[in-house]
Amino acid sequence: GEACDYCVLAARLLPWLALLVLCLLQARPAPAPVHRQARATSTVRWAALGARGPPLHA
């Protein structure tokens, strides 16, 4: 069967839209390093606990 006009249009425009999104993400300025350091200290401070075994009563 033939695809509808909207499906053909979407299939033609989708690669261009993906390329546009990738270009916009590349053009976005990098976040400031101060935020990265603050985020790194918070992840170290809130580190996850180690793995535990099953409950003793099981």
Give the model's pLDDT for residue 32. Answer: 65
Judge contact between 11 and 3, C-beta under 8 A: yes
Structure tokens at 6: 């909207």
Q: Residues 6 or more apart from 11 whose CB is under 8 A from it?
A: 3
Which residues make Cβ contacts (< 8 Å) with residue 3, sequence separation at least 6? 11
What does pLDDT average to over the chain? 78
The better pLDDT of the pair 11, 30 is held by 11
More confident residue, 22 or 34: 22
pTM of the complete model beyond 0.75: no
Mean pLDDT of the region 5-22 = 94
Compute the average pLDDT of residues 7-27: 93
Confidence of residue 52 (pLDDT cuts 50, 70, 90): confident
Are 34 and 42 in contact by the 8 Å Cβ rule? The answer is no
